[in-house]
Amino acid sequence: MSWLGKKAEKVERSSAVAPSLVAALRALDRESIILDSNGFIKYETSKISLLNLVKDNRILSEELLALVRVVRKSGKTQEGSIEVARSQIGEGKRELQITAALIDNVGSVLVIIDDEGEKQRIDAIRRDFITNISHELKTPIQALSLNSDALLEIKDEPEKVVLFANKIKTQTIRLNDLVKEIINLSKIQDSDPLDMAHNVEISNVIAEAVDQCEVLAEARKISINLDGVQNTVVVGNREQLVMAVHNLVENAINYSSEGTNVVISSKLDDGLIEILVKDQGLGIAEENLDRIFERFYRVDPARSRATGGTGLGLSIVKHVITNHGGEVKVWSSMGVGSTFAIRLPIANEGAGI
């Protein structure tokens, strides 16, 4: 069925609901559903399709269905919270506050959905994040202070002045990169990409991410090869998806030897798009694979300092993809290289904007 067909179907269903009630529900800063006595959806607000709550005009969540049954049996308004997966894959969850009530004498139930639980989760992440930032910023700031003091002491020795000035420049660049990554991670933690979702062409995302890495690849004499990139659509935030793919490609370049190849490909698999970034780099030891997506975790701190790594790049990838209802996987072998895979649900017809 076409996008227009789905829109027409929603209009036809909502016509069975009083226009005054529809107008009132649209004025609320909440998503809502009206179910008939048989459990079919008579009306839903525009973003319900992004919450992974309904399919084929019926409620998917067993928890929500149980709450609706209690409302019908008791005749009383019920409140509760439910947890729903962002999609059929990945670890992404969303906690929703639910209010359900009978609205007529034939068993119609109104369900009002609030994302308050998600806001509380984001607040907790923010507090933890600030603690981590405070620790991470100490190192470059202390280095800048020490090198500045040393520079003042040897101001009459030109060669040493140049040496310490270069050290200060290096630390300044590192601090600047760290601040930019902190801002990026803060943005994606504070906003849900599915709240302002659009249809995003994956081939365009990959092309822009690769373009952003061309200068770095040339400087390190590494070839970026595109192999069978699929042209399909996902629902989400284009800027965040470009950031995630860019971070994987940049990592692949930074941790590869000169003269090697980074290969980017994608494939379709049962309603999913899989983006693969493969390098011929150092590889990652098995004991580190479970931790590489943690904030500020570095497999090789010395290597990270040499390449300008902040320890936030893969954490950003994880957050972006999880918030888009996807997952990130990694396979690696020491001395052979690593392959990172992003898996995202393909947009259903009628999803997005």
**What does the alpha-carbon distance between residue 136 and residue 138 come to, in Å, rounded to a whole number?**
6
- What amino acid occupies position 24? A
Q: Do domains 3-114 and 193-353 have the same CATH topology?
A: no
Q: Which has more confidence, 187 or 82?
A: 82
Q: Is 325 helix (H, G, I), strand (E, B) or coil?
A: coil
**What does the alpha-carbon distance between residue 285 and residue 139 come to, in Å, rounded to a whole number?**
26
Q: In the prediction, which pLDDT does 275 show?
A: 95
Pick the CATH number of 119-190 from 3.20.20.70, 1.10.287.130, 1.10.8.10, 3.30.70.580: 1.10.287.130
Tens digits of per-residue pLDDT, 321-340?
988 989 999 999 888 899 99
- DSSP character for 281? B
Q: In the prediction, which pLDDT does 1 show?
A: 30
Q: In the prediction, which pLDDT does 191 show?
A: 65
Q: In the prediction, which pLDDT does 277 show?
A: 95
- Residue 344 pLDDT level (bands cut at 50, 70, 90): very high
By percentage, how much of the chain surpasses pLDDT 90?
27
Cβ-contact 308, 173 below 8 angstroms = yes
Q: In the prediction, which pLDDT does 7 show?
A: 38
Model confidence at 304: pLDDT above 50: no
Strands of the chain (E only): list them. Answer: 31-35, 41-44, 54-55, 58-59, 78-85, 93-102, 109-114, 198-201, 223-227, 233-236, 261-269, 272-278, 327-333, 337-345
On the CB side of 27, CA atoms within 13 Å amount to 6
Question: Taken in order 37, 41, 42, 45, is the CA torsion positive or negative?
Answer: positive
Across 126-130, 202-206, 219-223, 280-284, least confident range: 126-130
Average confidence score pLDDT of the chain: 80
Average pLDDT of the segment spanning 185-200:
72
Distance of CA 173 to the CA centre of its chain: 26
Q: Is 82 helix (H, G, I), strand (E, B) or coil?
A: strand
Name 8's Cβ contacts closer than 8 Å, sequence gap at least 6.
none
Tens digits of per-residue pLDDT, 258-282?
889 999 999 998 889 999 999 998 8
Q: At 73, phi and psi to the nearest 5?
A: -75, -40
Model confidence at 318: pLDDT above 80: yes
Does this model's pTM top 0.95? My answer is no
Residue with token string 């789905």: 6
Tens digits of per-residue pLDDT, 214-227?
999 998 899 999 98
- Residue 287 pLDDT level (bands cut at 50, 70, 90): confident
Q: What is the CATH number of domain 193-353?
A: 3.30.565.10
Q: In the prediction, which pLDDT does 104 show?
A: 86
Q: In the prediction, which pLDDT does 181 show?
A: 67
- Domain extents for the chain? 3-114, 119-190, 193-353
Strand 41-44, strand 31-35: pairing: antiparallel
**What does the alpha-carbon distance between residue 346 and residue 272 come to, in Å, rounded to a whole number?**
5
Exposure letters 67-105 (e unless 16+ CB within 10 A, then b): bbeebbeeeeebeeebebebbebbebebebbbbbebeee
Q: Is 127 helix (H, G, I), strand (E, B) or coil?
A: helix
Q: Which has more confidence, 41 or 18?
A: 41
Cβ-contact 250, 219 below 8 angstroms = no
Cβ-contact 110, 32 below 8 angstroms = yes
Architecture of domain 3-114 in CATH?
2-Layer Sandwich (3.30)
Cα pseudo-dihedral 169, 171, 261, 297, rounded to 10 = -170
By percentage, how much of the chain surpasses pLDDT 70?
78
Name 203's Cβ contacts closer than 8 Å, sequence gap at least 6.
229, 230, 231, 232
Q: Is 246 helix (H, G, I), strand (E, B) or coil?
A: helix
